[in-house]
Amino acid sequence: MDMQQQADSGLAGLSFGFLTTLESPAHGLFGGYLVVDALGRPLEFHCTAPVKVSRAQQILYGPTLQGHLHGRQVGGALLAEGKATPAVVLTDSDAMLHVRPHTRLPVALVRRGAAEQASGFAMGAAFVSPHADDAARAEEIEAQLAALAEAVDLCEPFERIRAALDEAARH
Amino acid sequence: MTGNEQLGNANSPPPVRSFGGAAFRLPQIIVTDGCELALPTPPTLRLPVAMPAPAVTSIAPLPPRPRVQSHFFARPVALPPVAPQPAGGPEVVAEAAAKACRGADRRARVAPPKDVVKLSERFYYLLQPDLQTMLRGGKLTFPRPPFPFQFEGMAFLLPRHSAVLADEMGLGKSMQAISSIRLLVRSGEARRVLVVCPKGLVTNWARELADWAPELLVAVIDGDPGRRRWQWSLPDVPIKLANYEVLVRDRDLVAELGLAFDLVVLDEAQRIKNKSSQTNRAIVSLDRRRSWALTGTPVENSAADLVGIFEFVQPGQINDRMTPKAMAGAVTDHILRRTKDKVLTEMPPRLDRDARIELGPEQRETYRRAEEEGVLRLADMGREATIQHVFELVLRLKQICNFDTATGESAKLERLVAELEEVQASGRKALVFSQWVETLGRLRKELAFCGALEYHGGMSTTARDEAIRRFKESRDHSVLLLSYGAGAVGLNLQFSQYVFLFDRWWNPAVEDQAINRAHRIGAAGAVTVTRFLSAATIEERIDEVLRRKRDLSEAILSQADGPTTAGLTADDMFSLFELAPPRRAAA
């Protein structure tokens, strides 16, 4: 069974998570989590109220701030609200990889184009790097993502999330 | 030794307490001679005792969890498989189609309309994949690669319950509407769709539906009342196609059957511009959830035209008392209009030329006599002269400009024959428009050398379809003669390189529609448009008036103030003969 056949055989019920943030100068940091089906159509969307970090908090948390803020605060809160169990949660933010200790779901970083010296695999125009904790599942993740990549550019759903977060910020 | 205290007051430095030496148990100094000696003035230590509390700043840790808002969407229905196209037919998947045209990287997104205010509903639209992705996901096929602006047109229609697609003629409004219908039907958002078009375009629509949505069943509503009742009642046919006349006739039947539509699409929606017409009333009485109007000329004569169309699209949104600017503001989110020069930079050029025809001596004399007599008669009638009298004179003069009623002489025909000989010799095709069926008949006889065919409202639908087929497929027929009434709308004749307006219509928008039968998407090369104008006649005067007045539509659609009419009014008609209109004469 090749990769495409594997992908097709389990399409029904298969879902994928997309997790990212939007920095609003006026409001703070919004987080968004979109779950889509294998054709890229939305199933769930969760977004946080904005989190604003003070200068003092920046100093206090120091270099741990971004990981704590994105991974534990925002990412953890969003994944906790999800009802679906996606095959993998993709993020386009390094800081968001810190969510991994707070979820059982595999997490991977997606970037446009091939990443030099990064472990992972190319998928269409994107390069996918699974979290170190999920490195052993890279092949499984690749097979499942193949179905989605047939329909959607893997970087595209992040644009949708940001458009929705932008709308939330203006609402 | 005693100590003493010094208490400060409000304006003093912080209170200070002084302590005597005893209080500090100052050691006595014993000198060597055995005497005790105490220092008479022990040192005093001054210590502040009311110290202000130090400022404490608490840095709160980040809150444990920000508040999360959740939205859940129904799992999309599984798309049914698309019936395969006939072998060898033109089939292009959406992705290939998108790549095939310029600007394919520009993704068309479905944006929420302004009247959708609930955040969860706005999210529903914002979180959908772009249109190209949706089409690719559904493995939908197209017979021809759509242009990026056509994807954007679909993205405009899809989320809207009230929409006017007002693209300039030739930009593929029907294809955009059909593709949008297809997506709605296949996603389960629409199960009952009604398409209403002019009678002469039913065949054309049926063909376009078969091309662009081959998997959808279509019922064409026609025939006797019993047959129509059966067709209206067909439960498993998602698309019903009817002409305006049938709809007016079956208005009560539709109500009796309790038909409700998820979507009603009107083609050539200017047909309902008159609010008090039977057609308008029949259309607006339809039970429907979505209302889409397709028209290249939403403002044909006056701003009131748009009000009539909006009685169907979004009742009450605009009214006759609004200024063009206010009207533009009220309709802006409901109307999408693109012009060829904006979206089709690679469209073949359209070359316009006015052919000033000098009438021959006999034809000139007939014309002069008719005009003089006519004007004299109108002058004699004075206040009794009506617009109808003026209209009759204009028609008579225009007919003489075509053919001398006394001798049959025609300077226009001579010029046309010369032009068409060249067209035929080069293997090209030409369209010739006239407002009179009688003129078309005379031209057909004179143009037998190039196999001229006729297409007008006096012919049956079958005969008209056959004329189009022969003109399209046979090299023996290089000229198609069309009436403005029947041939100006809906036909795709982009394989024609020449358009001749043998006489002029009253409204330039109708002339544009006629021209765009040839100058539209798919045109293989430049389209040359020739307007025949008989010099120093009523035709030149009408042309002058129309040129001054053709900007209203663009004025409203571009949110600017503008004149209030684009066609000829009663005042204009009287002014053609330098006569005062009746109301002024009465004053």
First to last CA, chain A: 48
Check pLDDT > 90 for residue B242: yes
Bridge partners (DSSP) of residue A34 are A18, A45
Q: Which amino acid is located at A24 in the chain?
A: S
- Say if residue B330 is in the same domain as residue B207: yes
pLDDT for B247 equals: 96
Closest by alpha carbon to A44, among B159, B68, B80, B161?
B68
Return phi, psi of residue B270, to 5°: -60, -10
Query: What's the average model confidence in pLDDT over B414-423?
Result: 87
pLDDT at B172: 85
Neighbouring-strand partners of residue B218: B239
Q: Are A30 and A168 in contact (CB under 8 A)?
A: yes
Q: Choose the final residue of a domain: B343, B362, B388.
A: B343
* Confidence grade of residue B290 (pLDDT, cut at 50, 70, 90): very high
Shared domain for B296 and B386, answered yes or no, is no
| Residue B54: predicted pLDDT | 78
Which region among B25-29, B146-150, B316-320 has the lowest average model confidence (pLDDT)? B25-29
- B71:A46 CB<8 A: yes
Q: In total, how many domains does chain B have?
A: 4
| CB contact set of B470 (below 8 Å; sequence gap of 6+) | B453, B477
| Whether B216 contacts B191, CB under 8 Å | no
Identify whether residues B137 and B187 lie together within a single domain.
Answer: no
Cβ neighbours of A154 in B, within 8 Å: none
Whether B78 is covered by a domain: the verdict is no
Which residues of A fall within a CB distance of 8 Å from B113? Answer: none
B175 and B216 within one domain: yes
pLDDT band with cut points at 50, 70 and 90 for residue B291: very high
Answer yes or no: is B378 within a domain. yes
Q: Which residues of B touch A (CB under 8 A)?
A: 57, 59-73, 75-76, 107, 109, 119, 122-124, 126-130, 133-134, 136-138
Burial B334-373 (b: 16+ CB within 10 A, else e): bbbbbebeebbeebbebeeeebebebeeebbebbeebbee
* Of the listed ranges A71-80, B196-205, B304-313, B355-364, the one predicted with least confidence: B196-205
Alpha-carbon distance values, A125 to A8, A111, A144, B547 (Å): 20, 9, 17, 53
Burial class (CB in 10 A: 0-12, 13-18, 19+), B426: exposed
For residue B549, what pLDDT band results from cuts at 50, 70 and 90? low
- Of the listed ranges A125-134, B38-47, B85-94, B153-162, the least confidently predicted one is B85-94
Residue A135 distance to chain B (closest CA, Å): 28
Query: Are both B226 and B322 inside the same structural domain?
Result: yes
Instruction: Answer yes or no: do B105 and B185 share one domain.
Output: no
Q: Return phi, psi of residue B287, to 5°.
A: -80, 115
Which residues on neighbouring strands pair with residue B162, listed in sequence order? B291
CA distances from A53 to A58, B67, B375 (A): 7, 15, 85
Does residue B286 carry a pLDDT above 80? Answer: yes
- On the question of pLDDT at B240 being above 60, the answer is yes
DSSP B240: E
Give me the CATH number covering residue B425: 3.40.50.300
Give the CATH number, domain containing residue B294.
Answer: 3.40.50.10810
pLDDT value at position B192?
96
Q: Nearest Cβ partner of A69 from B62, B75, B127?
A: B62
Q: Are strands B479-483 and B453-455 parallel, antiparallel or unpaired?
A: parallel
- How far away is chain A from the Cα of B73, in angstroms, using its nearest Cα? 5
Mark which of B279, B313, B343 sits at the end of a domain: B343
Classify B563 as helix, strand or coil. coil
**pLDDT band (50, 70, 90) for residue B553:** low
Please compute the mean of the pLDDT values over residues B358-376 and round it to a whole number: 93
Q: What angle do CA B58, B61, B67 make, to 5 degrees?
A: 130
Do the Cβ atoms of A77 and B126 come within 8 Å? no
User: Position of tokens 């005093």?
Assistant: B44
Residue B537 belongs to some domain of the structure:
yes
Say if residue B211's pLDDT is above 50: yes
Please give the pLDDT value at position B305.
86
- Residue B320: the pLDDT is 87
B579: pLDDT confidence band, cut at 50, 70 and 90? Answer: low
B171-202 pLDDT, tens digit each: 789 999 999 999 999 888 899 999 999 887 78
* Distance between A3 CA and the closest CA of chain B, angstroms: 18
More confident residue, B540 or B587: B540
pLDDT band at B371 (very low <50, low <70, confident <90, very high): very high
| Distance of alpha carbon B128 from alpha carbon A41, whole angstroms | 6
Domain membership of residue B84 (yes or no) is no
Instruction: Report H helices in B33-165.
Output: 94-100, 119-126, 131-137, 148-157
Of the two residues B587 and B418, the one the predictor is more confident about is B418
Residue B58 lies in a domain: no
For residue B55, tell me if it sits in a domain. no
Tell me the pLDDT band of B126, cut-offs 50, 70 and 90.
very high
| pLDDT computed for residue B32 by the predictor | 56
- On whether residue B69 sits in a domain, the answer given is no
Same domain, B169 and B310: yes
Backbone angles phi and psi of B299, in degrees to 5: -120, 95
**Does residue B102 surpass a pLDDT of 50?**
no
Q: Who has greater pLDDT, A107 or B59? A: A107
Asked whether B455 and B481 are in contact (CB, 8 A), the reply is yes
Q: What is the mean pLDDT of residues B76-93?
A: 45
* Per-residue confidence band for B95, with pLDDT thresholds at 50, 70 and 90: very low
- Please, what sign has the CA dihedral across residues B415, B420, B423, B429? positive
Q: Where are the beta strands (DSSP E) in B162-284?
A: 162-165, 193-197, 218-220, 239-243, 260-266
Judged by CB atoms closer than 8 Å, whether chains meet at A51 and B71 is answered as no
DSSP symbol at B68:
E
A72-76, B10-14, B511-515: which has the minimum mean pLDDT? B10-14
Domain that holds residue B422: 350-582
Query: Domain boundary residue among B311, B327, B343?
Result: B343
Q: Please say if the pLDDT value at position B160 is more than 60.
A: yes
Residues of A in contact with B65 (CB under 8 A): 73, 76-77, 80
Is beta strand B68-72 parallel, antiparallel or unpaired with respect to A42-48? antiparallel
Instruction: Read off the tokens for B1.
Output: 């030794």
How far lies B376's CA from each of A30, A68, B400, in Å?
80, 94, 18
What tokens were used for A144?
A: 């499942």
Residue B315 CA to residue B308 CA, distance in Å, equals 9
Pair B154, B21 in one domain: no
Q: Along chain A (171 residues), what's the average pLDDT of each consecutive run of 10 residues? A: 41 87 90 94 94 85 89 94 96 95 95 75 91 94 92 92 92 76
pLDDT, residue A79, reads 96
Q: How confident is the model at residue B580 (pLDDT cuts 50, 70, 90)?
A: low
Return the higher-pLDDT residue of B528 and B248: B248
Domain locations along chain A: 3-170
Whether residue B486 lies inside any domain: the answer is: yes
Q: What is the mean pLDDT of chain B?
A: 81
B323 & B417 share domain = no
Residues of B whose CB is below 8 A from A161:
127
Query: What residues contact residue B460 under an 8 Å CB cut-off, 6+ apart?
Result: none
- Name residue, tokens 């053609």: B576
Same-domain status, B238 and B103: no
One domain for residues B366 and B313: no
pLDDT at B532 over 70: yes
Most B CBs within 10 Å, among A41, A52, A58, A159, to test the B interface: A41
Give pLDDT, residue B514.
Answer: 86
Give the C-alpha separation, B177 to B194, whole Å.
Answer: 12
Check: CB of residue B296 under 8 Å from CB of residue B173: yes
Q: What is the C-alpha to C-alpha distance for residues A77 and A71, in angstroms, rounded to an integer?
A: 9
Rounded-to-integer distance, Cα B170 and Cα B443, Å: 27
Helix or strand or coil: residue B389? helix
For residue B283, name the pLDDT band (cuts at 50, 70, 90).
very high
DSSP string for residues in chain A: --HHHHHHHT-TT-EEEEEEEEEETTTEEEEEEEEEETTS-EEEEEEEPPB---HHHHHHHGGGHHIIIIIIIIIHHHHHH--S--S-EEES-TGGGGGGGG-SS-EEEEEESPPTT--SEEETTEEEEE-GGGGGGHHHHHHHHHHHHHHS-TTHHHHHHHHHHHHHHH-
pLDDT of residue B6: 42
Collapse the DSSP code of B431 into the 3-class scheme (helix H, G, I; strand E, B; otherwise coil) and give the result: strand
Per-residue confidence (pLDDT) for residue B379, from 0 to 100: 82
Q: Tell whether B176 and B139 lie within a shared domain.
A: no
In angstroms, the Cα distances linking B571 to A9, B377, B574, B575 are 73, 18, 5, 6
C-alpha closest to that of B288 among B321, B314, B256, B323: B314
